[in-house]
Amino acid sequence: MADTAIEIGRMKAPPRKEPSAWSRLVSGRGWLSFWYMMPTAVILILFLGYPLILGVWLSFTDAKIGRPGAFIGLENFEWLWGDDVFWLSVFNTLLYTIVASTIKFAVGLYLALLLNKHLPFKAMFRAIVLVPFIVPTVLSAIAFWWLYDAQFSIISWTLEKLGLITANINFLGDPWNARWSTIFANIWRGVPFVAITLLAGLQTVSPALHEAATLDGATSWQRFRHITYPLLTPIIAVVMTFSVLFTFTDFQLIWALTRGGPVNATHLMATLSYQRAIIAGQLGEGSAIATAMIPFLLAAVGIAWYGLQTRKWQQGGSND
Amino acid sequence: MTDIDAGALIKDPQAKADHSEGMGYLESLPRRIVTTYIPLALIVFVLLFPFYWMALTSVKPDEQLIDMNSFNPFWTTDPTFKHFYKLLFESSYPRWLWNTMLIATCATFISLFASVLAAYAIVRLRFKGAEAIGALIFLAYLVPPSILFIPLATVIYNYGLFDSPIALILVYPTFLIPFSTWLLMGYFKTIPYELEECALIDGASRTQILFKIVLPLAVPGMISAFIFSFTLCWNEFIYALTFLSSTANKTVPVAIVNEFVDGDIYRWGSLMAGALFGSLPLVILYSFFVEYYVSAMTGAVKE
């Protein structure tokens, strides 16, 4: 009896519910999702997923421009292992990333704390601070190139007039000067991003907490250390991961300022791989350098994952 | 100390009325000048000086550029537009500007279209594995162009797109789509379900709901995603440098670095004019949409 009732229910249902193959294809939830995901999937698979795998594969071949390579195992990596220029680029990349990221974080946080205070023209300040981030990196790098000019640098000129130095500083001609100069330009460009994102985080910290702590006699350092910093940690984790990631893989600033010179002193792994792969045509070797960056990136992504788990911060940051 | 602070808290009527001021009233003016205004002014000066220098150089006559002793280098008495003239009428600069604009606009529109659909599917259709796909898209954003450009160059070459703007229009969405999808997912989540349910009951299809209900409500998110993507395109360098080879096809950043840099000692004026002019469209766009920029950058940190 019960079976019959179900039977009847089933028999009644079809005329109303059975959709045609076409309407299932355009409106069934599973299929609809499939169609909605299509454009994204096609682009990301063709131009991101596939090249990513192809890049790792290329690093195990001796491909050159215009010639598909043959599999040569770890030969590229063995060759890089004994290559001083490669190790110099690894050193430069780590120095560049660690120094620039640390200072970007310190200055960015300081600037965010300043902007979080009650200021006249606060919105205007915030807008101005972001300008270096808006202007394309290469174009501001060109301005730095002119500021760092060996002969006509305004920085050298000013310091000379102030009597601090006697001869022009050779900003981009001397290995260590060039390193610090490029690091400074990178910090200049990265601070606004760190500051504005951290400022958004700071604004979520309730002033009531600070007032309560002040009533209990906390100093301003104690308030920062025990209220602001813990509440800000998840955002700091995410922002700094983006910052580290994009500093580590930086290309355009170096390329516009020094192209890796003088004598490879400012070559980052990204610029070195461009030089070897595209300019010298050694696609396999260039890919091996790019592939060598992946472990570092994975470590950074691991930290990002940890930060995201700590707090559901669900919207992406941005380019640095 | 504690008592005084507490007294100040109670006495000050501002404390309750205006929380944005926080505890600023506890600081005296001289102290504020030293701890806030001077550091802020210094940082803002450093951040803006390169732009001042760029603008000044672009209008300085050549002889003043290289003679820093007989002219005050921080100012110019007789500005010239010679460099801009040279840029706009004696070089391919307008062409490069047009290329950049075209590529950035097309890539942004393609990305927005794809991201709207993807974000809606992930957030509202909630198909099997939607969360995993969302995480994958986030990871895709973390893959930097620096490790993709070599294999992509071979891919582009094999597809026959080398030295064509289409290559960039197709490649730029790889970093725009993950960003925009992630941003739009946040906006879509804030739109109440009930609106969609009403529309479903009234017989609207999912696509109608998306375009007639969800999108109009997500306009701020769309603007944020649009201008931010546009900026990222304009800023992109390594793909444009690798995939484009002929002078006429280049984008502004690549052309400035490769075509303007010659041995000429007088190149600085036009170089700075080029950099300034290439930044202007973005700065103008930015000045109109500051808030959208900030919300694009910070996402839902504010919650």
Q: How far apart are CA A152 and CA B67, in angstroms?
A: 8
Contact between residue A182 and residue A96 where contact means Cβ atoms under 8 Å apart: yes
Q: Is the pLDDT of residue B13 over 60?
A: no
At residue B23, the pLDDT reads 63
Low-confidence ranges of chain A (pLDDT < 50): 1-2, 4-6, 8-9, 11-15, 312-320
Q: How confident is the model at residue B261 (pLDDT cuts 50, 70, 90)?
A: low
Query: Among all chains, which residue has been given the structure tokens 């802020």?
Result: B40
CA A286 vs CA A281, B57, B114: distances in Å: 9, 38, 32
What tokens appear for B194 in the block? 């009930």
Low-confidence winner among A27-41, B141-155, B170-184, B262-276 (lowest mean pLDDT): B262-276
This complex has an ipTM of 0.85
> Each residue of A172-225: pLDDT tens digit?
888 999 999 999 999 999 999 999 999 988 888 888 898 899 899 888 889 988
Q: What per-residue confidence (pLDDT) applies to A312?
A: 47
**pLDDT of the residue at B267:** 77
Q: Which residues on chain B are in Cβ contact (under 8 Å) with A216?
A: 2
* Cβ contact B275–A131 (<8 Å): no
Q: Give the C-alpha separation, B122 to B183, whole Å.
A: 12
Q: According to the model, what pLDDT value does residue A24 have? A: 63
Dihedral, CA atoms, A275, A280, A284, A289, nearest 10 degrees?
-20
In angstroms, what separates the C-alpha of A262 from chain B's closest C-alpha?
18
Cα A275 from Cα A61, distance rounded (Å): 18
Q: Is B33 on the interface with A (CB under 8 A)?
A: no
d(C-alpha A296, C-alpha A114), whole Å: 33
Helices in chain A by DSSP H: which ranges? 2-17, 21-27, 29-44, 50-58, 75-81, 84-116, 122-129, 131-134, 137-147, 154-161, 175-202, 207-215, 220-223, 229-248, 252-257, 269-274, 283-310
Within 13 Å and on the Cβ side, how many CA atoms surround A198?
Answer: 30
Contact between residue B127 and residue A33 where contact means Cβ atoms under 8 Å apart? yes
Burial degree of A188 (CB within 10 A; 0-12, 13-18, 19+):
buried
Q: Report the interhelical angle of A122-129 vs A175-202 (nearest 10°).
A: 140
Is residue A166 exposed (0-12), middle (13-18) or buried (19+ Cβ within 10 Å)? exposed
Query: Which residues from A are below 8 Å from B254, CB to CB?
Result: 138
- C-alpha closest to that of B99 among B206, B261, B248: B248
Compute the distance between CA of residue B217 and CA of residue B240 in angstroms, rounded to an integer: 35
Q: Do residues A196 and A129 lie in contact, with contact meaning Cβ atoms separated by under 8 Å?
A: yes
B207, B27, B301: which is closest to A199 by C-alpha?
Answer: B301
Cβ-defined contact of A117 to B181 (cutoff 8 Å): no
The Cα–Cα gap between B18 and A9 comes to 64
Question: Of the candidates B224, B221, B226, which has an alpha carbon nearest to the alpha carbon of residue B191?
Answer: B221
Check residue A69 and report its DSSP letter: P
Which of A273-277, B288-292, B293-297 has the highest average model confidence (pLDDT)?
A273-277
Q: Do the Cβ atoms of B48 and A128 come within 8 Å?
A: yes
Q: Which of residues 229-268 of B touch A (CB under 8 A)?
A: 231-232, 234-235, 237-238, 241-242, 252-254, 256-257, 268
- Interface membership of B130 toward A (CB under 8 Å): yes
Running DSSP on this structure, what letter comes out for residue A68?
A: P
Domains and their CATH numbers in chain B: 26-80 (no CATH), 87-298 (1.10.3720.10)
Residue A135's closest chain B neighbor by CA? B279
Quote the pLDDT of residue A287.
Answer: 93
Render pLDDT for B205-240 as a digit per residue (tens, 0 to 9). Answer: 888 888 888 899 999 889 999 998 999 999 999 999
Tell me how far apart the 2 most distant CA atoms of chain A are, in Å.
106
Q: Which residue has the higher pLDDT, A235 or B3?
A: A235
pLDDT, residue B22, reads: 56
